[in-house]
Structure 1
């Protein structure tokens, strides 16, 4: 099906950072927007689609026109990378207020959701990580309704049934933690069958951090834009090639396509 940008949030200011159109919103404003969207009736053409960009996403977006279209089709694109914030401050006409990391956003949305009666569905990661994310969330936000959960490795008829199950459960917000680019492709393929869902938020490695399977960098490294270096030290075999191939491209994009 055609997958074009719907621009549901026309009143949200955007700035161009690394070639991507990024919402000029802070964490609190993004959380508030998600809850407001979750309290409205579901759209006839499928859920609102919220995603994020960081250095890796910028590099992938540059390398693949198809992937760029999937990112640009989002109703809201957040800056999940401190270097994007730095670039907007140094080179952009308007600076991004702060980094909107999904790991920081999740508890803000959960707190508001618990208060407002907004429901969650947790989709993605392994069964162990997904289950632990569910348990951690329930302990921290006991009044929050999580209507369902599933690991992210379903295929074929099993996946088809799960999509129908999610739609029947009609969660207000689906947190989709499949990693790039699987989660963007999931939105493109299944949005038209999830019309009872209000919002889908791509979440990358969110569940790994919530479940304690991975550690976040110290706050000073996060603020300095060095979280990638911390992660590289912990997982050199998995991340070395990724960062060597994407970081230089992302840096050039930030320098040349931020305004």
Structure 2
């Protein structure tokens, strides 16, 4: 087994006034050659957007872009004609492919929105751009893994162009469970949304990240009530 630990207070940080953001991996003005990615997981941004503010129309291509609201909601518009609101409990996916333009705004002027912006390098380039969004019930992930992303349209959750599986879990203090890697050669990046948890003997706290690879099973014990996001991704960038 190999591992890499990213404590919450070691993340890159930028405060733009309307946007307070932490970067687990190099992004924008934050650059660390030791923190470029975890396999095909390229971006993990923890964004807090002020009321009524947001990201104006901007382009993307050849990237799988995932948005997971943790508090508040975002209004999304794109060049494919989509106009939707994503809320806490939703998971949104865009396959940028040959190219898209989109914008995201906190439509509420009286409260902040906190969401995760995640980029995964795809296994197919120049695909037709696509959009997908699903809602998930928090009660369905109490003391179990709730799959929210997979490589297959037929499976539970939304799908992306990559052999990746994302799961969320809300664990009660003292609860233990294990996760089995779906595909040989994949690694698992664990991001703690809330609480405290021990993963394969490593104690983690809120907003800590732990990457594990060259293993088949990962063990979890909740040291307090904890909320987790698990991102299983290929470690080979090719």
Q: Which TM-score applies when normalising by structure 2?
A: 0.31
Q: Which has the higher contact order (CA 8 A, sep 6+)?
A: 1
TM-score, length of structure 1 as denominator length: 0.29
Larger % of strand: which?
2
- More helix by proportion, 1 or 2? 1
